[in-house]
Amino acid sequence: MGDEERANNFYMEAQKKMESTKGFMSRMFGAHSKIEDACDLFQRAGNAYKMAKKWSAAGNAFCELAKIQLNQLQSKHEAATQYVEAANCYRKSDHQEAINCLELAVEIFTDMGRFAIAAKHHVTIAEIYESNLMNVDMAITHFTQAADYYKGEESSSAANKCLLKVAMHSATQENYNKAISLYEEVAAVALESSLLKYSAREYLFKASLCQLCHDMDVAKGSIEKYCQMFPAFEDSREMKLLTKILTAFEEDNIDNYTEAVREYDSISRLDQWYTTILLRVKSKIGSGGIAVKDDGEPDLS
């Protein structure tokens, strides 16, 4: 007998066990034992479906098990655990069903006050929306919720990872004010830790690039503020690139801009996010330059 056939037999037997608990006499005599037997059979069915790589069927079996744990046995933790198991199976066949199961698990865990676990599953939901369903708005929603729960549990590092994801997607969507605010927030937290301090350079660099995309004319003041926040930023390769970008903008010189970015990329490879943002910055050069003060100096304030 193959794994799928065994799984089908377990599943049907589990359904029969549950059906037999519906009668009046059954409810009086032995119903609880039959329910526990059904749970065992659904568990075995789910595992057998997994062995047969029948992922949707496995997810269905674990969902049935979760419902029994929640509704008949009032075991919230076990129900949530089985919804997560179902989601793990559905992720191989049906991403939306995986999300549905994870949301049910999150609802149970939050009701139990298990916010760190709920946050973890919000992150998983966000990653499915991000990578599989290409729904950035929903990914942002769940990364944000995860960050809020992690903050409440004093898990700053985990919260910041989520906030960085929100900042990255916000910048890509041209919501630069939100991205800037989040990069500054995470940088400020990093600067309070001797172990994390130097990671602030990356966050301030990304905030600076978002500033350049948002409003090139006022970006210099913001970048100077970042140097005051983190003096080591002023001597970094990132700051040297930012200075060259501002100069290229002042001089309306795309060639100098391109050379500055090429030089930086030759040492520190730029990923897709950086490439996208830097192309947007480039589009601002040659758009008419910037205002000039009465003394002839460029007005970057």
Q: Is the pTM of this model over 0.85?
A: yes
The model's pLDDT over 122-149, given as tens digits with 9 standing for 90+, comes to 999 999 999 999 999 999 999 999 999 9
CB 208 within 8 A of CB 227: no
Q: Compute the CA torsion angle 190, 192, 194, 195 (nearest 10 deg).
A: -30
Dist CA 250 CA 289 (whole Å)? 6
The model's pLDDT over 61-113, given as tens digits with 9 standing for 90+, comes to 999 999 999 999 999 999 999 999 999 999 999 999 999 999 999 999 999 99
Token duo for residue 112: 């139990």
Residue 176 sits at the vertex; the CA angle it makes with 185 and 133, to the nearest 5 degrees, is: 95
The model's pLDDT over 184-204, given as tens digits with 9 standing for 90+, comes to 999 999 999 988 899 999 999
Dist CA 135 CA 138 (whole Å)? 6
